[in-house]
Amino acid sequence: MINQKLGDFIIVLISLISLGVFSCSSNADDEISQREVEHAQALIDLDFKSEYIDTMRSYLDRNLSGYDSLRSYYLPFETLPALVFDHHPDGFELPQINNLFSVSDLTEFTRPQSNAALAYCTIPQLAYLLRSDQLSSLELTSIYLQRLKEYNPVLECAITITEELALVQAAKADEEFWQGIDRGLLQGIPYGTKDLMAVEGYKTTWGAMPYKDQNLNYTATVIKKLNDAGAVLVAKLTTGALARGDVWFDGKTKNPWDTLQGASGSSAGPGSATAAGLVAFSLGTETLGSITSPSNRNGITGLRPTYGRVSRNGVMSLSWSMDKVGPMCRSAEDCSIVFEVIRGKDSLDVTTQQVGFDYRSDTDISTLKVACLQDLIESDTSDAKENLDRVMLLLDSMGIVPTPISLPQQYPFAAFDIILRAEAGAMFDDIVRSGEVNKMVQQSKRSRANSLRQSRFIPAVEYLQANRFRRLLINEVNDLFQDYDVIIAPTFGGRQLLITNLTGHPVVTVPTGLDKDGYPTSITFIGNLYQEAPILSFAHAYQSITEYDEMRPPLFAD
């Protein structure tokens, strides 16, 4: 016990020193004093005797010298810790999944009369129009660029409109269509990406004042994959500052359903722009709800894939052990199309895995084993409850009778947040120590700036202990889920969002209509590790007999 407390104390003390609470140098007069150590103990509930404090003071001085040396070396943003997070349960083997990808057969579709209606077409619809010579990629791209220019001042959802790049990519797509080169369903389709993803030649601001002029001389792997698929990048969309909320360095991203309300975050721009028909689809990231929440708020469909399914190379890290990249789209089928392109092993991201994806639009969902988090559904008191109950009745009419299950309860859930905060603190240590963090727009108790400052007071021992409990949680959740293909859950409520982000399980969040105040609501389908196909097929079947994925914010639909 005394060794553990000593370790805790040392970490916190060094954090205090790094923040300037204490000072230390090689001069004897500046050595850490007995009184400073005694005062610091209160921060982590320790009470060492005077003689023990005296014996460790020289040790603390040596440690401080070592930390100063560490900080004198350059550490690239893209460097992952040597300790790579493994989200696989004990004894887990990667599933052997065939690649049998197929989407709905669209044999006939007529171009809508208005540009607004065209902007809301699904990916298969746009792909058909491009291939049937009813539309060129240049024309489609110009429509989206015009909508971005018209509506971005209202929604504040785009940081950079990449017009020059988009027109070049669109012209290339049209030329390849003419030559008979077909790169797949995304060829010639305009999209936007959250501005956490590097695109060479354009700023990558991470939504935060300290990085608003940052240029990275490389392009994220996911963007390269979309480039290879012939997709057209029209905008780098807003992210809440350093992946927190919907406030960024130059504004607050708005919800197209109510422009007096924020779009939620941190994938605020992708949520808002996709819902408003300013892009055909978008890419977001999630650490603890950043795809799910804006998908819910803005009334779109969002897929958070299994941890390690999509490369994060070239994507800002918030938490190396929790970050995921995923599509935010009009429908589950659109999500499957984008996911099929961006998934896969990447040598530049050691957490990625190569596992097949067997999505088929004609999957018979009656063959799927379905469960539901019954206690969370019954206890839901949100404005989404009425729509949630209606969806459950609809599924019942489809012959889907879910097995009631409950998520684990006996864990120190209040401590798990330190995992994200400690890793974010390491990622952004430079701006905390330099004071650049003080330039961020939000400085409240719940702001990213404040979270980064207090992360320096998280002991390494507690971080490791939280991850040991996380290992137990991963094993228990895997045992609970492995008998089912789909687990139905409220999007919010209980600890579903926290637990599945900690364990790395995939979810798809789909609209369920509007509440009594006219705001979108949603439901979430959870899958097993690497089993995105069943939940996407399930969501597609649900959306094929409902019209909630076709809802349009009135201000942007005409």
Q: Which long-range contacts (CB under 8 A, 24 or more apart) does 423-426 make?
A: 423/317, 423/318, 423/319, 423/320, 423/321, 423/322, 424/242, 424/318, 424/319, 424/448, 424/451, 424/452, 424/455, 425/452, 425/455, 425/456, 425/458, 426/81, 426/455
DSSP state of 366: G
Asked if pLDDT for residue 115 goes beyond 90, the answer is: yes
What is the distance, to the nearest Å, from the Cα of residue 518 to the centroid of all Cα atoms in its chain?
26
Average of per-residue pLDDT across 518-525: 98
Tokens at 43, concatenated: 């921060």
Q: What is the mean pLDDT of residues 190-200?
A: 98
pLDDT value of residue 28:
40
What whole-number distance in Å separates Cα of residue 541 and Cα of residue 395?
10
pLDDT at 56 over 90: no
Quote the CA–CA distance of 49 and 259 in Å, as a whole number: 59
Cis status of the peptide bond prior to 137, with omega within 30 of 0: no
DSSP string, 367-432: GS-EEEEHHHHHH--STTHHHHHHHHHHHHHTT--PEEE-----S-HHHHHHHHHHHHHHHTHHHH
pLDDT tens digits along 485-516:
999 999 998 999 999 999 999 999 999 999 99
Confidence of residue 65 (pLDDT cuts 50, 70, 90): confident
Of the candidates 182, 178, 207, 211, the residue with the CA atom closest to the CA atom of residue 195: 207
* Digit-coded pLDDT (tens) for 427-457: 999 999 999 999 999 999 999 999 999 998 8
Q: What pLDDT was estimated at residue 20? A: 45
Q: Which tokens in the block code for residue 417?
A: 């947040």
User: For residue 24, is pLDDT > 80?
Assistant: no
CA 150 remoteness from chain centre: 27
Q: Which of 389, 359, 362 is nearest to 374 (CA)?
A: 389
pLDDT tens column, 242-294: 999 999 999 999 999 999 999 999 999 999 999 999 999 999 999 999 999 99
Whether the pLDDT of residue 471 is over 80: the answer is yes
pLDDT at 107 over 80: no
What is residue 553's three-state secondary structure? coil
Place of tokens 């553990």: 4
pLDDT at 326 over 50: yes
**Could you tell me which residues come within 8 angstroms of residue 491 by beta carbon, excluding any fewer than 6 positions away?**
292, 296, 384, 497, 509, 522, 523, 524
Place of tokens 């689809």: 281
> Where along the chain do its domains lie?
1-73, 115-408+469-552
Q: What is the 3-state secondary structure (H, E, C) of 6-37?
A: HHHHHHHHHHHHHCCCCCCCCCHHHCCCHHHH
SS3 91: coil
| Residue 40: its H or E element | helix 34-40
Task: List pLDDT tens digits, range 288-298.
Answer: 999 999 999 99
- What is d(CA 343, CA 326) in angstroms, rounded to the nearest whole number? 9
**Does the predicted model carry a pTM greater than 0.95?**
no
Superfamily of domain covering 115-408+469-552? Amidase signature (AS) domain (3.90.1300.10)
- Which of 77-86, 481-490, 515-524 is the least confident region? 77-86
Residue with the bigger pLDDT between 107 and 216: it is 216
Instruction: Give the DSSP letter of residue 265.
Output: S
Say what percent of the chain tops pLDDT 70: 95
pLDDT in tens, 384-411: 999 999 999 999 999 999 999 999 999 9
